[in-house]
């Protein structure tokens, strides 16, 4: 170690110990000296590439269960000026990997609508039932829309909420999130052999209702 380097390390260390301010590099966020005129950039600058949107018709709510539940119609909209959905590359609509739900993979009878209805083909599934793949048979035009209905979710066993994802170029990334959510609530216990009641006692469900500050059982 040279004398100059040793001296520099010693001075920096002393500054940290004694609380003396030490110069640090700060991120530069732009300004008069960024080589742009103060009035030149009036719009956001994107990174390039198509922007594709996904939107379900409504938010979806359900209690945990296994049976198929119909999806809310999903609309995929291609970029209005730079279309990105191309023939031969499927549109992938995904349930997030960390959410306990799958598509009903036995159902492949999708119903299509929108301006791009004639530019897609059959559906298939991947990713242990979490990925819906829609075959694209013709290039989408700018602003084309595709509505998808007639399919279902099942095995929705995790309480919580999530949003569908779309990957229009099948590169494994998330290109957009649904602007609607899917919420799954927990299961309530309505009585049974281990609820402390005789087998023939509870012939009706017992509901808990709030009346003011009182709880009434009926």
Whole-Å CA distances, 181 to 60, 68, 72, 96, 130? 6, 18, 10, 12, 16
Give which of 97, 103, 110 is closest to 162, Cα–Cα. Answer: 97
**Residue 180 placed within a domain:** yes
Task: Output the domain CATH number for residue 73.
Answer: 2.60.40
**Residue 41 placed within a domain:** no
**Residue 59 placed within a domain:** yes
Kindly report, residue by residue over 56-104, the tens digit of the pLDDT: 999 999 999 999 999 999 999 999 999 999 999 999 999 999 999 999 9
Give which of 136, 148, 149 is closest to 83, Cα–Cα. Answer: 136
**Residue 103 placed within a domain:** yes
Kindly report, residue by residue over 149-169, the tens digit of the pLDDT: 999 999 998 899 999 999 999
Alpha-carbon distance 166 to 179, whole Å? 11
Q: How many residues are recorded in the chain?
A: 218
**Residue 5 placed within a domain:** no
pLDDT value, residue 158 = 86
Average pLDDT, stretch 196-203?
A: 48
pTM: 0.66
pLDDT value, residue 194 = 56
**Residue 200 placed within a domain:** no
| Residue 3 DSSP SS3 | helix
Kindly report, residue by residue over 42-69, the tens digit of the pLDDT: 555 556 688 999 999 999 999 999 999 9
């Amino acid at each position: 170690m040279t004398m100059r380097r040793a001296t520099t390390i010693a001075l920096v260390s002393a500054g940290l110990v004694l609380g003396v301010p030490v110069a640090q590099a700060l991120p530069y966020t732009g300004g008069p000296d960024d080589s742009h005129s103060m009035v030149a950039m009036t719009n956001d600058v994107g990174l390039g590439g198509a922007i594709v949107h996904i939107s379900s018709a409504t938010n979806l709510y359900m209690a945990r269960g296994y049976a198929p539940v119909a999806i809310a119609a999903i609309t995929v909209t291609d970029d209005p000026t730079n279309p990105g959905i191309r023939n031969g590359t499927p549109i992938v609509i995904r349930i997030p990997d960390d959410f306990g739900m799958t598509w009903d993979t036995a159902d492949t009878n999708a119903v299509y609508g929108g301006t791009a209805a004639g530019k897609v083909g059959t559906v298939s599934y991947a990713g242990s039932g979490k990925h819906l793949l829609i075959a694209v048979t013709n290039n989408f035009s700018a602003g084309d829309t595709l509505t998808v209905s007639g399919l279902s979710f099942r095995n929705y066993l995790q309480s919580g909420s999530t949003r569908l994802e779309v990957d229009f170029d099948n590169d494994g990334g998330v290109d957009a999130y649904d602007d609607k959510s899917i919420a799954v609530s927990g299961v309530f216990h309505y009585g049974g052999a281990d609820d402390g009641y005789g087998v023939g006692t509870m012939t009706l469900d017992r509901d808990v209702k709030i009346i003011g500050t009182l709880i009434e059982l009926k």
